[in-house]
Amino acid sequence: MWEHRALYVAISPFYILFAVFGLFPIAFSLYLAFHKWDGIGVMTYNGLNNFKYMLTDAEFWQAVGNTFMIWIYATIPMLFFALIIAFLLHAPFVKFRTLFRVGYFLPNVTSIVAVAIIFGALFANNYGFLNYLLQSVGLPVVEWLDAPWGIKVAISSMVVWRWTGYNAVIYLAGLQSIPQTLYEAAKIDGASGIQSFFRITIPMLRPVILFTVITSTIGGMQLFTEPQILVGNDGGTGAAGMTIVLYLYRESFINNYFGYGAAVGWGMFLIIALFSIVNWKLVQGKSS
């Protein structure tokens, strides 16, 4: 090993950067979770108090509930639309395919702050575009940003808008890796289009679907910028848009409970880990 030291030095930047910006913060947040610290003064050992407080904190559990609701509102339509879009893009009759692929990817690289401002204008209670549409067809206005479900719908729609194209492109890659011969064989055996979609496409896509479900689980659990910009640090009316990360941010950087914030971070880690395992079992379950 020693004789290759030059090569190890050459690959060391990643490990050094990871140790400084990845490993150290993780270890430090674990240390912090057992302390009381306002961010400036002295740290005092606090034992398990932060965790005890978290488990009995109504606001924390509300944030967990909100995060799951928003995740469900967002992920199901998002993956459904993504699959349909990918299927259409893959279909032989579609022209200008590259253009569409780029187009569907565009929302993902748009500044999230700009997106949140536009969605804020769409969903605004007074003078919002959606309410304008509702009014112009004679329907009553909806107080989107004051109703608990309305806030969640608004946040979810931002997630759907931003990530559908991204997932569609991943599904498209999955579709393209399915050997054409399978479809040809099915055709010869007299299978209909729908049959080959459910019997060939979906099973062959399973690993890709699993991948998108896991990534959107992790992404959905870490939702932060959308609610923060749309409804503010307090999660909007009745804290209906308060997600776990937003709560972590508010407790740490607004209320200066850094130790508690670290504990919430570790709580979130456990939730994501558990939830990912459950998802994995569910999606994987049938094939094994």
Partner 1 sequence: MIRRKRTCWTAILLVCVMLVSGCSIWPGQNDSSSNKKVALTLWYWNRSIDDKLIAKAKEKFPNIELTAQKIGGDFKAKLKTTLAARSGEPDIVALNDWIMELFPSEDRFYNLYDLGAGDVEDQYLDWKWKQGVTPDGQMIGFPMDTGPTALFYRADLFKEAGLPSEPEEVAHQINNWDAYSAAGEKIKEKFGGKVFLTDNIGTVYNQVLSQGTERYFRPDGSFIGMDSPLVKQSWDTAVSFKQKGLLANADGWTPGWNAAMNNGEIASFVGAVWMKQVLQEAAPDTSGKWRVTRAPGGDGNNGGSFLSILKSSKHPKEAFEVIQWLQSPDNQLEQYKTLNLFPSAPGVFDTPAMKEEEPFFGGQATGPVFAESAQHVPEAFFGERYPSVHNIITRRLNDIAKQNANPEQVWPDTVQRVERELQR
| One-letter-per-residue 3-state SS of the chain | CHHHHHHHHHHHHHHHHHHHHHHHHHHHHHHHCCEECCCCCCCEECCCHHHHHHHCCHHHHHHHHHHHHHHHHHHHHHHHHHHHHHHHHHCCCCCCHHHHHHHHHHHHHCCHHHHHHHHHHHHCCCCCHHHHHHHHCCCCCCCHHHCHHHHHHHHHHHHHHHHHHHHHHHHHHHHHCCCHHHHHHHHHCCCCHHHHHHHHHHHHHHHHHHHHHHHHHHHHHCCCHHHHHHHCCCCCHHHCCCCHHHHHHHHHHHCCCHHHHHHHHHHHHHHHHHHHHHHHHHHHHCCC
Output the smallest distance, CB 141 to partner 1, in A.
12
Q: Is 124 near partner 1 (CB under 8 A)?
A: yes
- Given 20, 72, 114, 121, the residue binding partner 1 (CB under 8 A): 121
Output the smallest distance, CB 37 to partner 1, in A.
9
Site string for partner 1, 4-23 (x = CB under 8 A): --xx-xx-------------
- Number of residues engaging partner 1 in binding (CB under 8 A): 31
- Given 19, 20, 28, 38, the residue binding partner 1 (CB under 8 A): 38
Contact range with partner 1 by CB under 8 A, out of 3-11, 19-27, 83-91, 169-177: 3-11
* Site for partner 1, residues 203 to 262, rule: CB under 8 A: 234, 237-239, 253, 255-257, 260
Closer residue to partner 1 in complex, CB, 57/204: 57
Are 167 and 82 within 8 A, CB to CB? yes
Query: Please, what's the largest Cα pairwise distance for the chain?
Result: 79
Q: Is 64 near partner 1 (CB under 8 A)?
A: no
Dist. CA 22–CA 92, nearest whole Å: 45
Site string for partner 1, 163-202 (x = CB under 8 A): ----------------------------------------
Tokens (6 digits) for 108: 């993902």
* Site for partner 1, residues 139 to 158, rule: CB under 8 A: 143, 146-148
Dist. CA 255–CA 54, nearest whole Å: 15
Output the smallest distance, CB 158 to partner 1, in A.
17
Q: Is 137 near partner 1 (CB under 8 A)?
A: no
- Given 22, 25, 39, 193, the residue binding partner 1 (CB under 8 A): 39
Q: Is 93 near partner 1 (CB under 8 A)?
A: no
Q: Is 62 near partner 1 (CB under 8 A)?
A: no
Closer residue to partner 1 in complex, CB, 34/280: 34
Output the smallest distance, CB 22 to partner 1, in A.
19
Dist. CA 244–CA 218, nearest whole Å: 12
* Site for partner 1, residues 94 to 113, rule: CB under 8 A: none
- Given 29, 62, 108, 125, the residue binding partner 1 (CB under 8 A): 125
- Dihedral angle computed from the Cα positions of residues 247, 251, 252 and 257, in that order, rounded to the nearest 10 degrees: -150
Residues of this chain that interact with partner 1 (CB under 8 A) are 6-7, 9-10, 36, 38-41, 49, 53, 58, 120-121, 124-127, 143, 146-148, 234, 237-239, 253, 255-257, 260
